[in-house]
Amino acid sequence: MSKGNLFIVTGPSGAGKGTVLGRLLPTMEQLQYSVSATTRVPREGEEDGVNYYFLNRNDFLNMVDRGEFLEYAEYVGNFYGTPAGPVDECLEKGVDVILEIEVQGALTVKSKRPEAKLVFIIPPTFADLELRLRSRGSESDEVIAKRLEKAKEEYSMANHYDYIVCNGEVEQAVEELRSIIKAARCTVDRRINLLR
């Protein structure tokens, strides 16, 4: 059996990654969302073990010391990291895995796993980003300003990515991402066994 594909979805805060993935994941088989660990406090409605593993700084840094992260990064004052174990278990079973992580982490994974497919999700315009961040109502002006600054940095790294999905209409963005995943399932690497 061939291994699963690893997809990394990145996009500035407010690009609507969560919404796109939230629609896609229940409709595709053999596709697992990787739950990250973070030191950020939960937003309203977020559940431990579902949206993130919410850890204190100490526990997070202990995981770093034990080498349990595939990657981790600091983002706007908090740590975020991808636990390696669950990702590799899925890939070994032939299940595709999606990481939803920021750009530094994405590039770390790409350097360790060059076969990973990097997808950058953006809103139609930069002004839409600010609008979406503000309408979320969960962050202070200061945090929103930092997130917008970060978004500019992230845009400048987009040339390292394999695909760009433009999230104007959510359904269209979902279909574009679905097509990327389906195409990766049809590569010769994944299908060579069918010839035997």
Q: Which of 60, 81, 133, 161 contacts ligand 5GP by CB under 6 A?
A: 81
Give the span between the Cα atoms of 7 and 121, in whole angstroms: 13
- 39: contact with ligand 5GP by CB under 6 A: no
Asked if 82 touches ligand 5GP (CB under 6 A), the answer is yes
Q: Are strands 52-54 and 69-75 parallel, antiparallel or unpaired?
A: unpaired
Residue selected from 8, 20, 39, 80 as contacting ligand 5GP according to rule CB under 6 A: 80
Q: Does 73 bind ligand 5GP (CB under 6 A)?
A: yes
Return d(Cα 69, Cα 58) in angstroms, integer: 15
| Binding residue (CB under 6 A) for ligand 5GP from 40, 113, 146, 185 | 40
Q: Measuring CA to CA, how many Å separate 94 from each of 33, 124, 190?
A: 14, 34, 10
Residues 102-141, mask of contacts with ligand 5GP (x by CB under 6 A): x--x------------------------------------
In angstroms, the CA 37 to CA 48 distance is: 9
Those residues whose C-beta lies under 8 Å from the C-beta of residue 57, and which sit 6 or more positions away, are 39, 79
Point out which residues bind ligand 5GP (CB under 6 A). Answer: 13, 36, 40, 71-73, 75, 80-82, 100-102, 105
